[in-house]
């Protein structure tokens, strides 16, 4: 079904074939999870070109694809395959293929018109099917459980790196095949950096601790952020946390299919602006999650994407105050026929315990 949808696009664009090189897109179309490969989709054939290291893996993971063995340079094998199948107009993933690689392929395959394409398979991936949603929920459950766990064992004096290691160890031993990204644990003033780098800084009593984590399960990712406090938070932290939580709830309760990403972003951004912190929320509200941890759709001031049932998106407003710290709260939501379903289940309150 996924390949047929791609072929429909190819017919509409008068393409003889499409070369798929981005790993996430290869996995989406074929099931193949290895590397050093290229998929060639023609109107009637589904081919996978790779070398000796991956022959058995192709047979196991992509049985519906015909294996083309690469012995030597891929460009020369590609030249012969395109000639055999009379391919004269070829679409390729221009945002993934390096310019030098493109030049090599184009030189080898003279007589073929190369058509640069952007986000073709990515658009097919926007709406998740039932199988994808089932795996996504497993990944989300792993990160939810990790967040619940870390709240119970965090102690004043633990370093950011120690907290991150506990989170990673828990996820890897509770169903995650890998982390979705480098964990973020930003304590105190480090929390003012949305992508704070882990440090040996001990966590202090009463300060905000921003934790951003994700688990990969069967190739699909989760993405979760919570801000917690060890000990009694002061009035400033309580106030900032309340603003961010109200902003998130405004977006989750107000989002509807048919809205643009910009409109959903505005639901949360207005709450933060009304509280006097417009300048302290500098990133978009959210992004899609799936085979990539950051994919479409986007919810941001620049997003004109129409949100549809079956799309997943994070809702992650934040306030970042240099020298003090930050607060971010992030869920993954599923757009339904009437609104959104919040898939992230771990609690959002500020006290760690």
Mean pLDDT by 10 residues, the chain (353 residues): 96 96 98 95 97 97 97 94 96 96 94 96 98 98 98 98 98 98 98 97 98 98 98 97 98 98 98 98 98 98 98 98 98 98 98 88
pLDDT confidence of residue 291: 98
Contact yes or no for 116/92 (Cβ under 8 A):
yes
> pTM for the complete prediction?
0.95
H-helix or E-strand containing 348? none
pLDDT of res. 35? 84
Q: What's CA 22's distance to the chain center, in Å? A: 14
> What's the rounded Cα separation, in Å, for the pair 191 and 200?
14
Topology of domain 2-124, CATH? Creatine Amidinohydrolase; Chain A, domain 1 (3.40.350)
Ranges of CATH 3.90.230.10 domains, the chain: 130-342
Q: What pLDDT does 353 receive?
A: 83
Q: Is the dihedral of CA 252, 253, 258, 264 positive or negative?
A: negative
Short-list 100, 344, 77, CA closest to 222: 344
List phi, psi (to 5°) of 29: -85, -35
Domain with CATH 3.40.350.10 in the chain: 2-124
- Is domain 130-342 classified as CATH 2.10.109.10? no
């Amino acid at each position: 079904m996924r390949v047929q949808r791609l072929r429909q696009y190819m017919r509409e664009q008068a393409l003889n074939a499409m070369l798929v090189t981005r790993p996430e897109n290869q996995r989406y179309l074929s099931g193949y999870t290895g590397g050093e490969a290229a998929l060639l989709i023609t109107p009637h054939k589904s081919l996978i070109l790779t070398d000796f290291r991956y022959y058995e893996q192709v047979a196991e993971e992509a049985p519906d694809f015909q294996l083309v063995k690469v012995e030597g340079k891929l460009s020369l094998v590609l030249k012969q395959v395109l000639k055999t199948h009379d391919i004269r107009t070829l679409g390729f993933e221009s945002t993934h293929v390096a310019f030098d690689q493109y030049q090599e392929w184009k030189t080898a395959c003279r007589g073929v018109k190369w058509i640069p394409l952007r986000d073709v398979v990515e658009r097919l991936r926007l709406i998740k099917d039932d199988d994808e949603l089932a795996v996504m929920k497993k990944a989300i459950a792993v990160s939810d459980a990790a967040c619940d766990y870390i709240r119970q064992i965090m102690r004043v004096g633990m370093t950011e790196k120690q907290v991150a290691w506990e989170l990673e160890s828990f996820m890897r031993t509770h169903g995650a095949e890998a982390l979705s990204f480098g964990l973020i644990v930003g304590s105190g003033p480090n929390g003012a950096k949305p992508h704070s780098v882990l440090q040996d800084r001990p966590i202090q009593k009463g300060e905000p601790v921003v934790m951003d984590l994700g688990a990969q399960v069967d190739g699909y990712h989760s993405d979760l952020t919570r801000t917690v406090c060890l000990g009694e938070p002061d009035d400033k932290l309580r106030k900032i946390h309340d603003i961010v939580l109200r902003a998130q709830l405004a977006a989750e309760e107000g989002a509807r299919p048919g809205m643009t990403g910009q409109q959903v972003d505005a639901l949360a951004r207005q709450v933060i602006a009304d509280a006097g912190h417009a300048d302290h929320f500098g990133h978009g509200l959210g992004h899609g999650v799936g085979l990539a941890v950051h994919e479409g759709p986007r919810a941001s001031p620049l997003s004109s994407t129409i949100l549809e049932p079956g799309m997943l998106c994070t809702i992650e407003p934040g306030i970042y105050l240099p020298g003090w710290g930050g607060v971010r709260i992030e869920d993954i939501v599923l757009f339904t026929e009437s609104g959104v379903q919040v898939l992230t289940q771990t609690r959002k309150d500020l006290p760690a315990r």
